[in-house]
Amino acid sequence: MGKVRTGLSVSLDGFIAGPNDGPEAPMGVGGERLLAWYAVGDTKFRLPGTDMVFMVSEQTAEYLAETRRTTGALVFGRRTFDLTNGWGGKHPLDVPVFVVTSSVPHDWVYEGSPFTFVTDGLGSALEQAKAVAGDHDVGVGAAGIVQQCIKAGFLDEIHIDLVPVLLGGGVSLFDHLGIGPIDLEITRVTEGAGVVHLTFRVVK
């Protein structure tokens, strides 16, 4: 059985998007800085199955390849789905995405769609995602979903791509946790160009 884990770019002050995210600025004001590390390295990495080419450090390229290899399904909240317009039709990792929502956008329901809209809760979405992922991991996001996963004890691993910027406001990854302390174990630290990849095991 794979892990349930996050995989989000986060500012040093804990934001995954800047203030006022919306259709004009899906990552909020200043939030595009959180993704700058995809373009500041000296190693070319083409995401398999896409025409997306990143310029990252060699260590980050290895990490991205590993993420692509080990991810079997994703569970995301409806805001991320809407703000990215369904990642343009397919998530870059090319795995099934289970979108937790209170209403189904029927335009997106069609034969062979990579998206499944789950209206009976996060637990149901995770069960469906795990069934599809098998031995592979289930990635979860964004902030609201991660916080619910932690509260319910669903999360095995927190992986963050820590970006050297202070956004000062926006969508906070852990703002509404409401419980704690939650102990974590540092399992990996990888320095890239313009980013530090950090992995923590959630101690249960």
Ligand X SMILES: NC(=O)c1ccc[n+]([C@@H]2O[C@H](COP(=O)([O-])OP(=O)(O)OC[C@H]3O[C@@H](n4cnc5c(N)ncnc54)[C@H](OP(=O)(O)O)[C@@H]3O)[C@@H](O)[C@H]2O)c1
**Residues binding ligand X (CB under 6 A):** 8-9, 16-17, 21, 26-28, 34, 76-80, 83, 100-103, 121-122, 141-145, 148, 171
Are 122 and 149 contacting, i.e. CB atoms less than 8 angstroms apart? Answer: yes
100 versus 202: smaller Cβ distance to ligand X: 100
Residue nearest to ligand X (CB): 77
Strands 43-46 and 184-191: unpaired
- Tell the smallest beta-carbon distance from residue 58 to ligand X (Å): 22
Max Cα distance, the chain (Å): 45
27 versus 133: smaller Cβ distance to ligand X: 27
- Tell the smallest beta-carbon distance from residue 95 to ligand X (Å): 15
- Tell the smallest beta-carbon distance from residue 93 to ligand X (Å): 12
CA distance 146 to 98: 14
113, two tokens: 């769609």
- Tell the smallest beta-carbon distance from residue 191 to ligand X (Å): 18
Separation in Å, CA 198 to CA 53, 66, 80, 119, 184:
23, 14, 22, 32, 12
